[in-house]
Amino acid sequence: MTPALGTLHKVDLRTIWLSESSDFTPWLAKAENLSILGETIGIELELEAQEKYVGPFRADILCKDSDNDSWVLIENQLERTDHNHLGQLLTYAAGLQTVTIVWVAAKFTEEHRAALDWLNEITNSRFRFFGLEVELWRIADSMPAPRFNVISKPNDWTRSVERAASQIDSEVLSETKLQQQRYWQGLNQLLEEQGVPLRTRTARPQHWHNFSIGRSKFKLCTKVNSQAHVIGCELFISHVRANDYLELLRADRDAIEADAGLTFDWQELPGRIGTRIEIARENTDFTRESEWPEQHAWLADKLVRMNKAFRHRIAALDLDEIEAAR
């Protein structure tokens, strides 16, 4: 028998969000909804502020890209795009210097889509412009569900991949560097096959491979050391006050290690702008490709455990007092 299928029905945005400022913006600023938007554009977003002044205008939502700590500004419209909002976006770009701008609207006119395409064409990689149309859909009497459709995106999303590939092709890489790149490609493939809740990064010919954990200054990192015959997984904290951040987490050390089922090496790294919380596997030579499946399985397991133990705790850290003491 052929199963019965429902029919999608489009929902008027104004029936759910009466006002951009008091309804839609607060809804979008919630972590679970920023996650939907972030998945659409391929950026893990960390909320910094709502209704934040940038120059003479007030931006709807200001975020950080948790992968590289750069600004992401989101401007909302529950209607057709207009010239006023386009002008505001240009002012924001001038005020923030390095920024990803996401313009969310109910409908993009052809001229405004073309304007974003043109801006992405003429600006350098410090500026990225996205245009997204927001929709609501329901099946029968179900709750409405949001969907973001990409109307315009930065050219460098394609060009950056091409540049990276070209750069790698033009360099004379050692066999170790080539092995490193293949090693991380293999780890990425395993994580994707397992459905691990971590966004994979492009494999590079280097001894480390980073993963976002949802907040800038904090990263999960896998590493290999061919000379010491060690592989490892760590939470790396990169900030001038990293030791203070480490102490906030260390106060919950017993619960963290119990949740992960692991014992970590908590390292303050004197003289460096950073700290790490690490687990390592010794007597492991990453250059032995026949052992890669076992090594990748070990790394994937530690990534999953560390993500489970640290992600929600890092999101809940109150860093304001530490930042104010700088």
Tens digit of each residue's pLDDT (9 = 90 or more) over 62-98: 998 877 778 899 999 999 999 999 999 998 888 887 7
Q: Quick one: 117 and 64 in the same domain?
A: yes
pLDDT single digits (tens) 207-230: 999 998 888 789 999 999 988 999
Kindly state the average pLDDT of the residues 233-248. Answer: 91
**Does the pLDDT of residue 160 top 80, yes or no?**
no
Domain contains 299: yes
Share of the chain above pLDDT 90, in %: 58
* Whether residue 14 sits in one domain with residue 151: yes
Residue 1 lies in a domain: no
Task: Give the per-residue pLDDT at 49.
Answer: 85
Gap between the Cα atoms of 187 and 132, Å rounded? 32
Phi, psi (deg, nearest 5) at residue 97:
70, -55
Residue-level pLDDT at 324: 57
Single-letter code of the amino acid located at 154: P
Instruction: Say if 165 falls within a structural domain.
Output: no
Is residue 167, in this structure, part of any structural domain at all? Answer: no
**Domain end (from 101, 133, 160):** 160
CA dihedral (224, 230, 236, 241) positive or negative: negative
Domain check: are 134 and 13 in the same one? yes
In this prediction, residues 18-47 reach a mean pLDDT of 90
pLDDT at 43: 84
Let me know whether 200 and 261 are in one domain: yes
Of 125, 160, 195, which marks where a domain is finished?
A: 160
Q: What is the pLDDT of residue 325?
A: 53
**Which of 131, 160, 189 marks a domain boundary?**
160
Distance CA 121, CA 277 (A): 41
Please report, for the domain that includes residue 180, its CATH number.
3.30.1460
54 and 92 together in one domain: yes
Report whether pLDDT(170) > 60: no
8 A C-beta contact, residue 253 and residue 263: no
For residue 190, what are the domain limits?
172-324
pLDDT at 302: 97
176 lies in the same domain as 320: yes
Mean pLDDT across the chain, nearest whole number?
Answer: 88
Q: Are 45 and 63 in contact (CB under 8 A)?
A: yes
One domain, residues 61 and 123: yes
d(CA 152, CA 138): 25
Residues 147 and 243 placed together within one structural domain of the fold: no
- Answer yes or no: is 2 within a domain: no
Count how many domains the chain has: 2
What pLDDT is recorded for position 165?
Answer: 46
Q: What is the mean pLDDT of residues 284-299?
A: 96
Show the 3-state SS of 238-257: CCCCHHHHHHHHHCCHHHHH
Distance from CA of residue 220 to its chain's centroid?
Answer: 12
3 within some domain: no
| Domain containing residue 95: CATH number | 3.40.1350.10
* In the predicted structure, residue 244 carries a pLDDT above the cut 80: yes
Residues 195, 196, 199, 201, Cα dihedral to 10°:
-90
3-state helix, strand, coil in the chain (%, to 5): 40, 30, 30
Instruction: Select the more confidently predicted residue: 305 or 157.
Output: 305
pTM over cut 0.95:
no
Mean pLDDT, residues 317-325 taken together: 68
Residues 152 and 204 placed together within one structural domain of the fold: no
Place of tokens 């530690």: 302
pLDDT over 70 (residue 157):
no
- Angle of helix 242-250 relative to helix 253-260, nearest 10 degrees? 70
Asked if 138 and 195 sit in the same domain, the reply is no
Strands 127-139 and 145-152, bridge-based pairing: antiparallel
| Percentage of the chain exceeding pLDDT 70 | 92
| 216 CB-near residues (< 8 Å, 6+ apart) | 46, 64, 65, 66, 68, 69
Whole-number pLDDT of residue 326: 52
